[in-house]
Structure 1
Amino acid sequence: MLPKFDPTNPIAAMTLLEDVTTNVKKIQDSVFEAILSRNAQTEYLRGFLNGQLDKQSFKKNLPVVTYEDIKPYIDRIASGEPSDLICDRPISLLLATTGTSGGVPKLIPLTAEDLEQMILFGFLYAPLVFKHIEGLTQGKSLMFYFVTRESETASGLMVRFMITCVLKSVNPTNSFLWDRVQISPHTIATCEDTNQGMYCQLLCGLLQREYVARLGAPYASSFLKVIKFFEDHWNELCSNIRTGRLSDWITDPQCVSGISKFLTAPNLELATLIEKECSKTPWEGILRSLWPKAKCIEAVVTGTMAQYIPLLEFYGGGLPLISSWYGSSECFIGINLNPLSKPSDVSYTIIPSMGYFEFIEVVKDRQEAGHVPEDPVVVDLVDVKIGHDYELLVTTFSGLYRYRLGDVLRVTGFHNNAPQFYFVGRQKVVLSIDLSKTYEEDLLKAVKNASLLLEPHDLMLMDFTSRVDLSSLPGHYVLYWELGSKFKNAKLQPDRKVLEECCFTVEEALDSVYRKGRKNDKIIGPLEIKVVKPGAFDELMSLFLSRGSSVSQYKTPRSVTNEDALKILETNVVSKFLSRKTPTWELHELHSSR
């Protein structure tokens, strides 16, 4: 576990960071021994280890598991059985994952001790941004956070999302650290009404625009939601600033009291300035215009969030995009030691104190030429190899053992003795017809290639998802695209030839098994892009939020099978396009790709 350090002392944080990345093997061995010695008498571990607590017995006897394997134990704890089913310390709450992939949030056990570790982890990476970006100390952060209403299990155990959990761990009576770095008061950030909270955080940021040194949100998608909300409400915000009076629909006591410190009198000059900037079209560079002293945009932009990089670059006007850390509800894992690296080059350095980490070597089986992979190889953190891909397994103090996160990481190098990983994507087949298997990573790359064709026509891909349509033979892939224009209020009339070329470009980027199915065997029909109305993906998000997802942590699912979600998408379709050409496929590609 991370040793305690003074979070207000950046030198202490940097010294600790160097120490934990140098003594990786020692720390990993210590974490392993501590987890097993503490939890040896839990029902779960006793059932597999029979008192044998050495690493060899652990690897031999303890199975690699998914959430479904451990769900019965978590359900029992949620129903009121003691925590020592899986963990020796009391489980203080259950963390809910976003649930956008399977539709139902997973519940992850968390102890008070592990929550403290996650908060310390945040303080560990914070000094890096200040070290690499000059001028941040002269201002504050306009970071947009949103809490989700918490719930309880039948036994009274609290269920929260991670962002909500961290925000509510701040003591309102002793929030000097928050006030030191954040523009918006803690009371506004913890408002449970997302629209009121978002409005008032924007208002705080505009009223204090000269003090904003960085912008952002936990994820790129949530930050873009803020920009879209701002686009719809900037006139009203200007009116509030001009009159010095808050809109009547803002009634939440936390928001009203929080904004009262800043909205104290009419400010005609500021309102006129903001109105002038927002009236311009296109909105390219709008963030830099409104917040001239901002030095960066901070949000996760790796993995599935990489799709939003062009939009952030468009609105940001050259502001660096900072993807600071990598983690999940199950475990916080790595830090970006080079915040100014290009988003496409971001690597995260594993912090070995956060859990015990193992890695399954990934060899993607495209079933090309009948190839069948050997049994997967599992290695320790110190034994990973540069250039290899791995799926991460975590063992935590809170009761997860050899748990598959489903994330695929590629080793890019080392900092001291700590491996650095590029986030490849989820180890998940998102689309499949017959023998073809399209992984999330491949779909994202293919769509990125195709979306480049939109740029000369002043169009932007705002969001997308996909599905397989088997209603006719042969079956085919369907992509739902929401398009936007660089010019406000411009009509969205995509050229048919351009969208048909986008279909073909996606197909050309997919693997040879897919392309063979398209060309020779006629197993797969032409790929289809269905363009949906602006706002369709907001409706999709609202559906998942109504079923328990979190605004701050929401990620658009890259494939959709849920009937209600598909109904929303199909209802919003305004135009359809099919690939008019057959992608290339040659036999020699099988051998060159092996």
Structure 2
Amino acid sequence: MDSSCLLNFENFTVKGRVQIEFLEKLLKENDQVEYLQKFGLNGRTDPESYKSCVPLVTHEDLQPYIRKIADGDTSPVLTKKPITILSVTSGTSGGAPKYVPFNDHQVDSCVQAFQTSFAYRNREFPLGNGKGLQFNFLGKLSKTKGGLPYTNLLTNLLMNPKLSETSMKSNSCSPEEVVIARDYQQTLYCHLLCGLIQHEEIEFVVGAFAHIVIMAFQTLSQVWQELTRDIRTGQLGD
């Protein structure tokens, strides 16, 4: 799995022609979407026409289209393939969360990106039979006015069955039941508990963001007595 991920990534990043072919494929698949119609491509799907006709834009420029999708418009607004879920950003870059539409292909691409990142990590820091203390959490899953589900990107990925093929899940010291719990504080407590119980096997500690790891260890400094009591007695306290 790791070797194939690395090979695919090298092909896409080192060989420029592969990237151009991928762009051509995307343009051919989505040449009739509403967003591209206004730029006068007139059926052209070559990268040069795309570069000359379609300007660089910000998320704010795309908001009217995303709003249509969120409100239930199922026509090909931004992509030919139907949008199946919206990912919500943390809001740290612009002060407010942003909604990013995903279809099944884009979700698969994100899964591949995670698989690739873990493949590189495993190559540089190979794991033996150890485990990772991975602070993964499922966020709240909600629906837009049009009935489209939305949540944060990590939750989207953790709910994807294809991610179970990666070391992101397989090497975690926490069982699936901990990760899929919806209570953040209880999940964090159980992550710490699992990590302490299996401390001799832990080879790495990771979180989606650095502040998650910081908050986890801040919590550890506050609840270490409860954790040690639970480990000593073999039972969870109230």
Contact 2:118 2:167 in 1 (8 A): no
- 2:17 pairs with 22, 26, 30, which one? 26
| Alignment correspondent of 2:206 | 216
Give the match's secondary structure for 2:32.
coil
In 2, are the aligned partners of 1:178 and 1:186 still within 8 Å (CA)? no
Structure 1 residue 81 displacement after superposition: 0.9
Give the gaps of 5 or more residues in structure 2. Answer: none
Q: Alpha-carbon deviations, 1:259-299, whole Å to 9, x = none?
A: xxxxxxxxxxxxxxxxxxxxxxxxxxxxxxxxxxxxxxxxx
Q: Distance in 1 between matches of 2:162 and 2:106?
A: 18
| Alignment deviations for residues 358-385 of structure 1 (CA, whole Å, 9 cap, x no partner) | xxxxxxxxxxxxxxxxxxxxxxxxxxxx
1:151–1:143 distance in 2 versus 1, CA, 3 Å: same
Q: Counterparts of 1:21 and 1:71 in 2: how far apart (Å)?
A: 30
Distance in 2 separating the partners of 1:111 and 1:196: 32
Between the aligned partners of 2:21 and 2:81, the Cα distance in structure 1 is 18
> Which of the pair has more CA radius of gyration?
1
Please report how far the alpha carbon of residue 175 of structure 1 lies from its aligned counterpart in structure 2 after TM superposition. 7.3
Q: Does 1:66 align with 2:58?
A: yes
- Within a 5 Å distance, the mapping from 1:184-203 to structure 2 comes to 184-203=174-193
Q: CA deviation at 1:216?
A: 1.5
Matches within 5 A, 1:143-292: 143-170=134-161, 180-248=170-238
- AA matched with 2:219: F
Correspondence 1:129 to 2:121: yes
Q: Aligned-pair distance for 1:53?
A: 2.6
TM-superposed CA distance for 1:156, in Å, is 0.7
Cα pair distance change 1:175/1:244, threshold 3 Å = farther
User: Any conservation in 2 of the 1:140–1:212 contact (CA below 8 Å)?
Assistant: yes
Q: Report what 2:79 is aligned to.
A: 87
User: Counterparts of 1:2-41 in structure 2 under 5 Å?
Assistant: 9-23=1-15, 25-41=16-32
For 1:55 and 1:18, the matched residues in 2 are separated by 21
What corresponds to 1:541 in structure 2? Answer: none
% identical aligned pairs: 32
Q: Secondary structure at the match of 1:156?
A: coil
Query: TM-score, with normalisation over the residues of structure 1?
Result: 0.38
Whichever residue aligns with residue 100 of structure 1, its letter is: T
Q: 1:171 to 1:244 in 2, by over 3 A?
A: farther
CA distance in 2, matches of 1:129, 1:77: 37
What code does the residue aligned with 1:67 have?
H
Work out the number of aligned pairs and report it: 237
Is contact 1:217–1:223 with CA below 8 Å preserved after alignment?
Answer: yes
**Using the alignment, how far apart are the partners of 2:83 and 2:10 within structure 1?**
31
Paired residue type of 1:90: P
Superposed, which structure 2 residues align to 1:156-555 within 5 Å?
Answer: 156-170=147-161, 180-248=170-238
1:12 is displaced (CA, Å) by 2.5
CA distance in 2, matches of 1:39, 1:179: 34
TM-score when scaled to structure 2?
0.92
More helix per residue: 2
Task: Decide whether the 8 Å contact of 1:140 with 1:181 is kept in 2.
Answer: yes
SS in 2 for 1:238: helix
For the 8 Å contact 2:35–2:77, the answer to whether it is kept is: yes
What is the Cα-based RMSD across aligned positions, in Å?
2.1
Whole-angstrom distance in 2 between the partners of 1:35 and 1:128? 27
CA 180–51 in structure 1, closer or farther in 2 if over 3 Å, else same: closer
Please give the alpha-carbon distance, in whole angstroms, between the structure 2 residues aligned to 1:175 and 1:155. Answer: 32
In the TM superposition, residue 104 of structure 1 has moved relative to its aligned partner by 2.7
CA contact (8 A) 1:142 1:212 kept: yes
**Which secondary structure state, in structure 1, belongs to the residue aligned with residue 85 of structure 2?**
strand
Shift of 1:132: 2.1
Query: What's 1:493 paired with?
Result: none
**Higher RCO (Cα < 8 Å, 6 or more apart):** 2
- Superposed CA deviations along residues 401-426 of structure 1, whole A, max 9, x for unmatched, are xxxxxxxxxxxxxxxxxxxxxxxxxx
Supply the distance in 2 between the matched residues of 1:11 and 1:80 (Cα, whole angstroms): 41
Would the alpha carbon gap of residues 10 and 55 (structure 1) be closer, same or farther in structure 2, given more than 3 Å must change?
Answer: closer
User: Quick one: distance in 2 between partners of 1:86 and 1:62?
Assistant: 13
